Structure 1
């Protein structure tokens, strides 16, 4: 089965960032050729609406059949609040909490982000997953693009 990967805005922006460009583009290419489905939330689209045209264009190159669109609904809003109430993430980072919650409630195979301070961080991942289990959700794989892309054998 083709993996479904929730991709936050940092990965898409990373395609135009010197430090993250190579790996971000490798991941986008996986979506283009159908090795994985990119799961895009309305939160991500809202954040991208204010981004430069080059960043917005990244998603346009991915065929529609390799995209899945999801919306922020009450279930994810509540789960995000549980992360905040449990002290996993600060209330000021509510949108990051909502990205995690959306990925969790839609049961993606992984969430991919470059945000190592608030998302891809071992302590926080353990916290998110502790809350997920407490409220009956599965564990969520949270990774950087480097951990998801395919590498050629040397």
Structure 2
């Protein structure tokens, strides 16, 4: 079974960020080689649409057969609120 990875927009943005570029490009090479099952959310898709075109294009490197799109639903919303209330993550501004 392939390792499952949730990719958020900061990982995609890291592809061209000098601080994270080397590690991110190594990760994407493994993604291109289909080493992982990738999960990407509806929220990330919305955020990515606001990014510059060259950042948006990084997502196209993910093989479609390895990509699972997570849509928002009540279960996802409850989980997000639990993470926020438990201070696992902070609420975005």
Question: TM-score under structure 2 normalisation?
Answer: 0.88
CA contact (8 A) 1:32 1:66 kept: no
Name the counterpart of 2:82.
82
- Unaligned segments of structure 1, at least 5 residues: 95-154
Q: Give the Cα separation in 1 of the matches to 2:87 and 2:41.
A: 24
- Unaligned segments of structure 2, at least 5 residues: none
Name the stretch that deviates more: 52-61 or 62-71: 62-71
SS of 2:62's equivalent in the other structure is: coil
Change (3 A) 1:88 1:66: closer
Question: TM-score under structure 1 normalisation?
Answer: 0.56
Q: Give the Cα separation in 2 of the matches to 1:46 and 1:23.
A: 25
Pairs aligned (count): 93
Deviation string 1:97-128 (CA, Å, 9 cap, x unpaired) is xxxxxxxxxxxxxxxxxxxxxxxxxxxxxxxx
CA contact (8 A) 1:4 1:37 kept: yes
Name the counterpart of 2:25.
25
Name the counterpart of 2:4.
4
Cα deviation for residue 56 of structure 1 reads 0.5
Cα deviation for residue 84 of structure 1 reads 2.4
Q: Output aligned runs, 1:68-107, within 5 Å.
A: 68-91=68-91, 93=92
SS of 2:17's equivalent in the other structure is: coil
